[in-house]
């Protein structure tokens, strides 16, 4: 009797690709049938949009990963293409749409997006004029830097300002390359270049004052995050915090309007609506975070963030990370109404990706991606505290609004 072996990560990537392509086919057939009947509401259109977008994004990105696995393309290049899967899915949905199907993309929003790209100065000006927008960018930059300190709450996690663990790793890398020469194996130009790079990096660690080194690294990461990284992160956020969030907002508004009773609102109904709006925010953030993680599955299985050997467990960890990160992106994107949501969320996302590895430099004894860094337990603790602060801010705003409403109704 044969025992079924555990599927490899590559097999799971191929299976995910086939499943997502099949889902695209099924969702498109269902939409064609619905459209052919000619009777569909805008709510139904929004629901179809959500799932058609999601399946397209998954199929595009998983196909890119499957091709990389099969043909052994460069991982960095394919990851950059992978990130544009959601944006390309949005553009493919909007291509040749009729007037009814473009109900969420109003003319003024299309002009606003076009103007942002044409005039970067206006975008920066609006960014600096909105305190909430600036706070969101600053907060996401601080998050990876404070994570190692928050992580000290976890037993066994140590802190090293002089990057003790990474110097040890560099020493091991240098020693392994030097052993090639001692074993009379021909050292290629590439290997010699790697040796020079490792020795130079170690020298930078040891000779520079660690504070200067970290500040320099943070400044470089910020510059990279706000420029090149933003371009690639826009490819993701065009789908998640722009297209998807707008449709979820529309559905929640329609459901709220359909549940109204009577023409005149009373104070109790206002309070219920405020509570419902706060509750819907967390539900929508959770839903977007969950879909964001499911879209990440192929690239996580391929070794992103947690390594190839731990790809399957990494998918579970990434679920926690994207769900905890989603409310922060959604909260500040919604408060930056004058800014293009995809570009603003892309800036936050780009900075987080660029600065994510900075905290790794503070690791003391050993580095474990499931514990250290922004995608480990340390990051989960930090994100939990940030989410708690957002909830407290929402609660304070709600109580303040209630108080002002009560004072208005006093005789």
Residue 276 has what pLDDT?
Answer: 74
Residue 86 pLDDT > 90 = yes
Residue 173 pLDDT > 90 = no
Residue 269 has what pLDDT?
Answer: 52
Residue 108 has what pLDDT?
Answer: 42
DSSP 8-state symbol, 185: P
Residue 139 pLDDT > 80 = yes
Over the range 303-327, which residues count as b (16 or more CB within 10 Å of their CB) and which as e?
ebbbeeebbbebbebbbbbbbbbbb
Q: Find the mean pLDDT for residues 264-291.
A: 76
Residue 273 has what pLDDT?
Answer: 63
- Please tell me which residue, 184 or 137, carries the higher pLDDT value: 137
Residue 301 pLDDT > 60 = yes
Share of the chain above pLDDT 70, in %: 81
- Please tell me which residue, 4 or 205, carries the higher pLDDT value: 205
Residue 115 has what pLDDT?
Answer: 52
Over the range 20-54, which residues count as b (16 or more CB within 10 Å of their CB) and which as e?
bbebbeebeeebeeeeeeeeeeeeebbebbbbbbb
Residue 385 pLDDT > 90 = yes
Q: What Rg, from alpha-carbon coordinates, does the chain have?
A: 24
Q: Find the mean pLDDT for residues 359-384.
A: 87
The candidate with the shortest Cα–Cα distance to 220, out of 232, 228, 209, is: 228
Range of lowest pLDDT (90-99, 128-137, 159-168, 185-194): 185-194
In this structure, are residues 187 and 180 in contact, taking their beta carbons and an 8 Å threshold? yes
Within 336-376, where are the H helices? Answer: 341-355
Helices then strands (H, E): number in the chain?
A: 16, 0
Over the range 98-130, which residues count as b (16 or more CB within 10 Å of their CB) and which as e?
eeebeebbeeeeeeebeebeeeeeebeebbeeb
How far is 212 from 185, CA to CA, in rounded Å? Answer: 39
Residue 107 pLDDT > 60 = no
Residue 94 pLDDT > 70 = yes
Range of lowest pLDDT (5-14, 68-77, 118-127): 118-127
- Please tell me which residue, 63 or 207, carries the higher pLDDT value: 63
Q: In which element (H, E) is residue 318 found?
A: helix 311-335
Token pair 């109204």: residue: 260
What confidence category does residue 217 fall into, taking pLDDT thresholds of 50, 70 and 90?
Answer: confident
Over the range 400-409, which residues count as b (16 or more CB within 10 Å of their CB) and which as e?
eeeeeeeeee
C-alpha dihedral over 53, 57, 63, 69, to 10 degrees? -160
- Please tell me which residue, 270 or 149, carries the higher pLDDT value: 149
Q: Find the mean pLDDT for residues 251-265.
A: 57
Average model confidence (pLDDT) across the chain? 83
Main-chain dihedrals φ then ψ at residue 159, nearest 5 degrees:
-120, 135
């Amino acid at each position: 009797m044969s025992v079924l072996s555990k599927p490899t990560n590559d097999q799971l990537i191929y299976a995910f690709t086939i499943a997502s392509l099949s889902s695209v086919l099924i969702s498109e057939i269902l939409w064609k049938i619905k459209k052919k009947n000619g009777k569909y509401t805008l709510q139904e259109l929004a629901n179809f949009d959500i799932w058609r977008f999601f399946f397209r994004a998954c199929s595009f990105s998983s196909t890119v990963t499957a091709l990389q696995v099969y043909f052994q393309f460069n991982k960095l290049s394919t990851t950059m293409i992978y990130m544009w899967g959601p944006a390309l899915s949005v553009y493919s949905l909007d291509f040749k749409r009729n007037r009814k199907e473009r109900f969420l993309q109003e003319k003024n929003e299309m002009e606003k997006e076009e103007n942002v790209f044409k005039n970067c100065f206006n975008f920066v000006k609006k960014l600096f004029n909105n305190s909430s927008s600036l706070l969101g960018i600053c907060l996401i930059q601080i998050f990876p830097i404070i994570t190692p300190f928050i992580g000290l709450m976890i037993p066994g996690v140590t802190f090293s300002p002089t990057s003790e663990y990474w110097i040890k790793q560099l020493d091991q890398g240098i020693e392994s390359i030097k052993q090639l020469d001692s074993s009379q194996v021909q050292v290629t130009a590439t290997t010699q270049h790697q040796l020079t790079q490792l020795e130079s990096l170690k020298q930078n660690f040891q000779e520079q004052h660690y504070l200067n080194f970290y500040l320099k690294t943070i400044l470089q990461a910020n510059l990279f995050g706000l420029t090149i990284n933003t371009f690639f992160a826009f490819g993701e956020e065009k789908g998640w915090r722009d297209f998807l969030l707008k449709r979820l907002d529309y559905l929640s508004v329609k459901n709220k309007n359909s549940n109204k009773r009577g023409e005149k609102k009373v104070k109790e109904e206002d309070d219920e609506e405020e509570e419902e709006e706060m509750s819907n925010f967390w539900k929508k953030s959770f839903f977007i975070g969950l879909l964001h993680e499911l879209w990440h599955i192929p690239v996580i299985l391929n070794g992103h963030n947690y390594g190839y050997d731990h790809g399957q467990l990494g998918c579970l960890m990434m679920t926690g990370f994207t769900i905890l990160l989603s409310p922060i992106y959604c909260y500040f994107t919604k408060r930056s109404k004058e800014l293009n949501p995809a570009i603003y969320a892309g800036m936050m996302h780009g900075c987080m990706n660029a600065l994510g590895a900075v905290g790794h430099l503070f690791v003391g004894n050993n580095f474990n991606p499931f514990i250290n860094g922004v995608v480990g337990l340390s990051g989960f603790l930090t994100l939990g505290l940030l989410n708690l602060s957002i909830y407290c801010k929402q609660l304070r705003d709600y109580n303040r609004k209630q108080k002002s409403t009560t004072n208005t109704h006093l005789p």
